[in-house]
Each structure stands twice: as structure tokens, then as C-alpha cells.
Structure 1
Amino acid sequence: MPKLEIREFITFAIVGVINTGTYYAFYLLGLKGIGLAYMIAHFSAVILSMIISFFLNSYVTYKVKPTLKKFLIYPVTQLVNIIVTAVLLYILVDGLHISSSIAPLGALVITVPVTFIVTGKVLKAA
């Protein structure tokens, strides 16, 4: 892996930790604070954290200027990630009976490498 990609991956991981914390805070706020069903809390947290992720990854990870076009494409490219995370969340909570408070962390761990590749391609596009 070239030096630039290693730096990007490390930065992506740091931004990912921040984004995961943001997602988890929004998720728990929806789940415990507002009393939303776990899937509604999940999708709400995904949307809010995706907006934050877009700007952090644009400015910090890939050092590119965010544009409206990239902002509009970014969620579409994350759709597979969102679906896989939701399916894993369902399996962990309803199938394996893991607490809905911690299940999203396990689901997110599985999707990080794919998200790094897809995000880089979208944000570096002209």
C-alpha cells in the first residue's frame, strides 16, 4: 500500500472512530432518550452521522473540496453499507439476541474496509 493510501487509511480509521461515536450517540439518543424502535433509531443515526462523515472525510481524510454533486452521490454509494449494517444489526439483535445497545458496534466493524474503498473513489472523483 503506497504511503498516501496508508495515511488515508489511518486518517479514515480515526474519522471512522469519531463517526462511529457520533452514530452511536445519535443511536442511543433515539433508542433510550426518545424511545424510538431500534431500527428507526439506527436509520436516523445513519443519516445524521453520514452527513458528518461526508465533511470529515472530504476535508480531513482525502483532502478534497466537498461539492453538492459529491454530497448527493455519497449516500447512494453508502447504500450497500447501510443495508449490510441493517441486516447485520437485525441478525445480531433478533437472531443472536445481542443487546440492541451494543449490536451496532459489531455490525460496523464488518463494514469498515469496504466503506474506505468506496468513499475514496467517490470523494476523489472529479
Structure 2
Amino acid sequence: MIGVINTGTYYGLYLLFLPHMPYLAAHVVATALSMTGSFFLNTHFTYRTRPTWRKFLLFPLTNATSFVVTTAGVYVIVDILHAGNRLAPLIASLAAVPVTFVVARMIMVPKRGTAGE
């Protein structure tokens, strides 16, 4: 559910910024803004752990792979396939969801025997 909320937030921001900047810039800004909300929703609801500065600073790593995959996907869909820039981010993000979840879990839920803070 958090992924759906985060994707909706990202996509809404992307569409909001799209008329005012190039599509890749809109993608980058929307990703950065939605990532902060995603962190707090994931710490509270998904992983039931308290937010810390360490986790907050490491959380962008969870989205690094997703960002690379979706950015490359958006570029391929828009510039190579000429399929349009409105739905490209949603299509490209589908491939990145499982990878992002696994990396987020490794950061948010430390292994037993480690402080994790």
C-alpha cells in the first residue's frame, strides 16, 4: 500500500512539474520529494521501526537502483520508443518496485545482533 501511495505522490508531482520543466528534470524533482514521504511512511507502517537520522540518510540508497532503472526506462520510452512522456514513469517504475523493497528492508530492519541505529 505504501508503494502505491508513494507512486501516486511521485506521479502527481511529476505531472505538476512537467509543464514547467523538461521531463527528466520533472522526474528527478518528483523522485526527490516523494522519497522523503516514503521514508516516514515506510518506517511507521511497513517496517514498524522508529525513524533515525542514520536510516533517513541511508534511505536514498533504497531508491538509487529504482531511480536508475526508472530514469533509464523513461528515457528509452520517451526518446527511443517515442511513446510519450505522461505515462512513461509509471511504466518504467514497475520493474524497480521489487528491488527497492528488498534494499529498503535491509536498511530499515537491521540484522539481529546489530544496533541498526
TM-score normalized with structure 1 length: 0.85
Query: Which residue of structure 2 lines up, in the alignment, with residue 28 of structure 1?
Result: 15
Query: Which residue of structure 2 lines up, in the alignment, with residue 5 of structure 1?
Result: none
Give every structure 1 segment of 4 or more consecutive aligned residues whose post-TM-superposition deviation is greater than 6 Å.
none
TM-score normalized with structure 2 length: 0.91
1:117 pairs with 2:91:
no
Query: Which residue of structure 2 lines up, in the alignment, with residue 92 of structure 1?
Result: 77
- Rounded Cα–Cα distance in structure 1 between residues aligned with 2:98 and 2:61: 17
Contact 2:59/2:104 (CA < 8 Å) preserved in 1? yes
- Rounded Cα–Cα distance in structure 2 between residues aligned with 1:117 and 1:83: 16
Identity of aligned residues (%): 46
- Rounded Cα–Cα distance in structure 1 between residues aligned with 2:95 and 2:69: 9
Once the two structures are superposed, residues 33-64 of structure 1 have per-residue CA deviations (whole angstroms, 9 ceiling, x without a partner) of xx110000000000001001111011000101
Query: Which residue of structure 2 lines up, in the alignment, with residue 50 of structure 1?
Result: 35
The answer to which structure has the higher helix fraction is 1
Specify every segment of 5 or more residues in structure 2 that has no aligned partner in the other structure, as ranges: 111-115
RMSD: 0.9
Specify every segment of 5 or more residues in structure 1 that has no aligned partner in the other structure, as ranges: 1-13
Query: Which residue of structure 2 lines up, in the alignment, with residue 3 of structure 1?
Result: none
User: How much has 1:81 moved relative to structure 2?
Assistant: 1.6
User: How much has 1:78 moved relative to structure 2?
Assistant: 2.0
